[in-house]
Each structure stands twice: as structure tokens, then as C-alpha cells.
Structure 1
């Protein structure tokens, strides 16, 4: 349990305190953009593996406090949430996005807000947040709260951190991108600043659906429990 708490704390510190603050700017100035990104990526992978191993070890330690569990209703809700999460996260990875690492040049595109970015400028991170919320809905034990809660906080906090970082480094270009997009999913669409155009990411959505179905079938191998009850 202690290892899980420590690994989750380090993961949050690494992404919210190091990556999303002026400390990152100072590290980049000293190390250079490429070496910094390489070291940061390596550290992220190492800590993520640590988190997953610590979660598995904590599960095997014995019974833990449980405040709620799955029900037929929440299991069905979770399946819907997981589909939404995949429909955001997968197109988010496949879409050129100024908020992604190494893609800030997209700010110079004639129309940088395309496809799933019309829904939110942080589709992948919101996908992770919804994925975390869905797992918390049916896993009310202490170790799940720690792991999935960490991932949810990281996703939402990371999205806000990216906005703050890009405002510092790209000024008016990022401000124009923000004006045509939204932090919250569907925010710009509801405010009339954007229009949903499914045709722009239809193929990506089909890929997301295929991965979602594969994840459902492979869930016993991935997590040790069936996703379909």
C-alpha cells in the first residue's frame, strides 16, 4: 500500500509540479528541449510501471476497505463511459493537436481546431479522466480510489497545466486556439463557437470502437477480471 501511495504521489508531482510550471521552463533552458523530453518520458514510464506493479502488489496483500461495489446499473453505465472515453482518447491521439508534445506547429495551420478538437482541445486527457471515473464507479475499494483517483486528477490537472504552459510559451497563438476551442468537452459547441462535424473523425471513431471492443474481450487478461460481468 505504501508503495502505491508513493508511486502515485511521485507521478502527480512529476506531471503537475515539474511539467506544468515554470520549473519546466528552467529545466528546458538548462538541458535543452530534446534531452528534457527524453528524460521526462523515461521518468514517466518508470513511475507508471512502478504504479501498476504497486497496485498489483497492494491487491494481493489482502482485504482492504470497500465503500461500494458494482451493480447491474453501474456496470452498464461504466460500459457507456468507457465507450465515450475511447471515442475521445483514440481520436485525440490520432489528431494533430497544438497541445500535444512536439505538435505546437499546428497553431500555424489554417484551421487547427478540427475533428475531435471541436469537442475539446484535450480529448485524450478527457478520455483518461472519463476512463478513471468509470472505473471508480464500480470499484469503491481503497487501492482503486488511490490509483484511479490519481489518474483522474492527473488528466484534468494535466489539461489545465498544458493550457497554462502554452499560454506562457505561445502567447497570442495559443490564445487564438483557446478562443476557438474549449477546455470542457462540448463547451465551445454549446456556446456556439464551434460546430460538431463527425465526418472529420469518423474513421478515427471506428478505430476507437474496434479498440474498445478488443479491450472488453481482453479485459480478463489485462486486469484479471471480466469487463462484461
Structure 2
């Protein structure tokens, strides 16, 4: 029930994150100057942006170089091919690169956050969550309206802070801004989810299909698939908890080959499945609010990536798609023969286990929500 708020190459590029890119680990690559052009699928799509003296030159390397300034000396023999990886390997996890101290710190931070959330927000005696829900509920007696307002408030705060991330990180640092971002967003999403659980059957019934043969299995399978799309943004849990310095990642493999915005796709699948099952105005309001928020996130996410990565993102954008499988079907995305290996990784296994655990924990989640009386 819980809606969460994803190669072959002839001249590969070694990015700062190449240590986590297993395909490039063993490739010896000459140092590169700024390439004069990039090969797009069609000549008409080639922007005249790659100039050696451009301020955007080699932006994906994290620095710029003027004309005649090489990064070590040698020129590449040919322009970067369209298939050359520019982004990071999604869900890559190397146990040898992990530090026990980092995960111990992550566990401590997670415990502290949960305690603070309970004391400052959830607990009726000490938290502000009840005051917040009561204040919004006074604006309307209809639960679908209240739920939609809760989603709108969360969307404004969450997307607003995401849009201000670059300036905020310059002002207070990456870790401090991540703490601020999570500290404001987490209470709001908990309130919205709990209100939805408590009022999901309070709206006007529009249809009743729960007795239709096979519908429960369809909803269950759709929800399970949605979680595989929903969570690529949390592949690096140490960054989520600000143990590692948070980054705005340019993912390229795994689920990103199917859709460039898997979180939006997963949210749409989840919403359609649960709306079909519940069939009332509260479910419709939740779906409208969440889907609208994630569609906005498609535009805002592309905008932020373009500002951060420049031409590298434009190339990746040209060979991926928002609509699932569209880039694959029209030939812009070519799947490697061993594509399935990009999913046989610990982060995806973790998502599968958590998804099954969430389904089995539905009764506990409902009991917890009912006790809050939100």
C-alpha cells in the first residue's frame, strides 16, 4: 500500500566514478582533449556545441580546458561514438569498496532519524504531525480533497528543495543540504501515507471490481514491478543518509535503458493498480496528485541534469526515452547481449526483498496508521 516517494565501446571515457564501472575497469584509455564533435544518430540532431574553447567543454569530466590544453597529452583517434558510456553504471555494488565503519554510521544515523521522527512528528503527545493533519483537515470535510492537499504540499516542498539543491549545497554543503532535504520531506510523506491508509475507503465508491477473477494477482504483480522502477534513486544508501557525499548521478545502465525516468513510471504503475483495486474518489485523488507530481519531476529532473552535465546529458537523452521501451524499439538504445546481468546485483535483490516485506507487512502498517487517528 505504501507509495514511495534506476557495453561495448571503442573509445570509452573514464569518468570520476569509473571505479564503480566494471565494464571500463580493465580498459587502458589515452588521456583526452575536448572532442570537437559528438556523433548523434542523425546529422540534423547534432548541435554545434562541442568547441574546444567552450565553457561547457568536457563538463562531464568535472572541469573545463581551453584550446590547446590537453589532459595528459594524447588526442583520441576518433570522436566519441554514440554508444560510448557517459553516465554511471546503475546498481553497481562492489563489496570490496565498502567500509564497515560507513555502514555502522549509516545504521546509527537511520536509528537516530527514526527516533527523532517519532518524537518530533509521529507521537501524539510530543510530535507536530497531529497538529499538521488537523490543520489541513479543517480546510475540507472531504477526505479526497484533504489527501490531494497533503500531496500538493509535499510536492511543492520536495520539488522546491530539489530545484534549489545546487544553490543550497554551495551555501551549506552537500551533506547538510541532504539532511535538510530529508528532514523536511520525510515527515510530510509519512503524514500523507498514513492519511491515505486511514482514509482509503472513505471516498465515494466509483466501481467495485475486487471480486473479479485474477484482479488481485494483477494488482499484486503490478505493484511488485512498480517497486523495481521506483527505487533507482536510492541505489547508494550511504549517500541517502549523507554518510557519503551526495551527488546528482547520471545513471545509464539497468532500468535506465528502459526509461530515463523510472520513478515516474513506477509511480504511474502503482497508482493505476491501486486505483483499479480500491475504485473510489480517494484513490483517484491520490493517483492524480502523485502522477502529476512525477510528471513535473520528469521535466525538472531533465532540467537539473542538463545544467549539471551539459552535453553529456544531451547525448544520453538522445539514446534514452521517458516512455518505457520507446528508445529500444526505435533503435536509439541498443541492449547488450548480457543485459540481464545489469539486474543481477545486490541493490535489485534488496529492492525485491523489501517489496515482498512491504506486502507482508501491510497488516502492521495499517495497525500503526489506525493508532495515530490521522
Alignment deviations for residues 132-187 of structure 1 (CA, whole Å, 9 cap, x no partner): 22111212222222234322322332233111122223221221221232222212
Residues 103 and 36 of structure 1, relative CA distance in 2, 3 Å threshold:
closer
Q: Quote the Cα distance in structure 1 between the aligned partners of 2:361 and 2:287.
A: 19
Instruction: Give structure 2 stretches of 5+ with no counterpart.
Output: 1-142, 238-244, 368-374
Alignment deviations for residues 76-131 of structure 1 (CA, whole Å, 9 cap, x no partner): 321231132123234564379xxxx9344x55xxxx52222211222234223321
Instruction: Compute the displacement of 1:56 (Å).
Output: 4.5
Q: Quote the Cα distance in structure 2 between the aligned partners of 1:91 and 1:52.
A: 21
Is 1:14 matched with 2:157? yes
Is 1:49 matched with 2:190? yes
Instruction: Give structure 1 stretches of 5+ with no counterpart.
Output: 225-229
Q: Quote the Cα distance in structure 2 between the aligned partners of 1:56 and 1:218.
A: 13
Q: How many matched pairs? A: 211
* Corresponding position of 2:342: 200
Contact 2:258 2:324 survives alignment (8 Å)? yes
* Corresponding position of 2:222: 81
* Corresponding position of 1:70: 209
TM-score between both structures, scaled by the size of structure 1: 0.74
Superposed CA RMSD? 3.1
Contact 2:148 2:289 survives alignment (8 Å)? no
Contact 1:122 1:183 survives alignment (8 Å)? yes
1:128-207 superposed matches below 5 A: 128-196=267-335, 197-203=339-345, 205-207=348-350
Contact 2:223 2:270 survives alignment (8 Å)? yes
Q: Quote the Cα distance in structure 2 between the aligned partners of 1:183 and 1:50.
A: 30
Alignment deviations for residues 51-75 of structure 1 (CA, whole Å, 9 cap, x no partner): 123334545xx84311123332433
Name the SS of the counterpart of 1:202 in structure 2.
coil
Contact 2:157 2:185 survives alignment (8 Å)? yes
Q: Quote the Cα distance in structure 2 between the aligned partners of 1:39 and 1:52.
A: 20
* Corresponding position of 2:181: 40
- More helix as a share of residues: 1
* Corresponding position of 2:95: none
Q: Quote the Cα distance in structure 2 between the aligned partners of 1:49 and 1:38.
A: 16
Residues 34 and 211 of structure 1, relative CA distance in 2, 3 Å threshold:
closer
Larger Rg: 2
1:104-119 superposed matches below 5 A: 104=248, 107=250, 113-119=252-258
